[in-house]
Amino acid sequence: MNGSLWLAWRQQRTLVGAGAAVLAAAAALAAYYRSGMLDALRTGLFDHCDPGPLYCARGDTGSPLLLDIQPLQYLGALNIVLPVLIGVFWGAPLLGRDRELGTHRVILAQGVSRGQWFASRFALAAVTATALSGLLAAVFAWWWRPAADRSYGLFWYETSALSGSGPRVVAAALFGLAAGTLLGLLARRVLAAMGLTLLATGVMTLVLEWTHKTRLLVAPHTYVSAGIAPKPLMGEKWTTGNYGLITASGRHDDVLNCPFPSGAELRACMDRHGYVARFYEANPAGDYWTFQWIDTAVLGGLAVLLTVVTVLLLRRRV
């Protein structure tokens, strides 16, 4: 095992180094921008801002108060594309390079079995990918915390936060690695494997984004308020954009049937149509973790499945 691990390290040390450099750069930028963010918060300008989706204005000039969160969103974007990058540049060549050059035949003709050959190189890649993605997610969380769920910061449901933080980043990185590894085994050509991995991991990333937007896997909660009583505050909830009116029989109608925010007009309109309550659909802030764990289970399960398929095919294909 030592020998094949040595070879795995010898071949992947450049990638490990690149990963470490990316992580160091991300951490340095995070430290710099986060301290700037904390300085801005310490001025007291933001103290009067309530949590909520509406932005908070300066008392004197009335201009919106916002923290500079764009670099944080870039880190979130990096975390989102991390499975694609790891899959294309790490997973695809992991077995694909040897398959293309035929070098696995030399390796397997030495004192190394197929199992050792695969296990050591995949383990090194998986451990590094886990550490890299886990630390990048941790950097994001540390940077994000002071600005989390604030009108001047970044809400949990925004794409860069929901998909660029938490355990799903680690699961996605492992999925990318497993997908690339399997496609490298099947494609026989590194370039073809890279293209297929780009496609597979890209599609998977977009599909999960789509499930977030459509709330396919995490159903929204319906918040109901009787009559013209004020609706519960939106606060940090993630609205689906679906809100409206409820009849006595329980039918949900579009809000445009009575497009009035409150008051006598609303009451008159509701009476006319026989509406007894109003509703809106949204995911509460606690659903962040539901989204996270579902994504983690889907991506982690796929990673395990693809790795098992790779191991099963290894005997026949190599």
Q: Which residues bind another protein (CB under 8 A)?
A: 2-4, 6-7, 10-11, 101-103, 105-113
Helix H, strand E, coil C: the string for 65-79 is ECCCCHHHHHHHHHH
CB of 310 within 8 A of CB of 182?
yes
d(CA 184, CA 196): 9
Least distance (Å) between residue 9 CB and another protein = 10
Q: Based on CB atoms, which residue is closest to another protein, 93 or 300?
A: 93
Query: Taking the chain, what is the end-to-end CA distance rounded to the nearest angstrom?
Result: 19
d(CA 90, CA 83): 10
Least distance (Å) between residue 89 CB and another protein = 16
Q: Based on CB atoms, which residue is closest to another protein, 97 or 267?
A: 97
Q: Based on CB atoms, which residue is closest to another protein, 116 or 165?
A: 116
Least distance (Å) between residue 313 CB and another protein = 15
d(CA 1, CA 49): 58
Q: Based on CB atoms, which residue is closest to another protein, 199 or 314?
A: 314
Q: Based on CB atoms, which residue is closest to another protein, 95 or 132?
A: 95
Residues 6+ apart with CB under 8 A from 20: 132
d(CA 253, CA 174): 44
Backbone torsions φ then ψ of 54, nearest 5 degrees: -80, 140
* AA letter at 71: P
Least distance (Å) between residue 122 CB and another protein = 17
Least distance (Å) between residue 315 CB and another protein = 8
